[in-house]
Amino acid sequence: MVRPVTAKLSKRFYDVLGEDVANELNELNFARFDAKLEQRLVELRAKLHDEIGRLRIDLLRWMFGFWATTMLTLAGLTIALLHR
């Protein structure tokens, strides 16, 4: 039976270091990976928060422009109709 290289290395790792030390190293590696992942998620959330903030500002500007021009147009039409 042919085992994959990683399985052979893993078995050798446990044989040389012992199960306790190998497990501790694996846990440390996972903790580092988990910390890096958490850091990247925090950075991604911050970027998304900033982008959503920018989009919200753009949307509010567009809405204000739309409603302001609509109200000016209605006011102009009302004045024109009243002064006939």
- Which of the 8 DSSP states describes residue 1? -
Domain chopping of the chain, boundaries: 5-82
CA distances, 60 to each of 29, 46, 49, 54, 72 (Å): 46, 21, 16, 10, 18
What pTM was computed for the model?
Answer: 0.58
pLDDT in tens, the chain (84 residues): 555 666 776 777 778 878 888 888 889 999 999 999 999 999 999 999 999 999 999 999 999 999 999 999 999 999 999 998
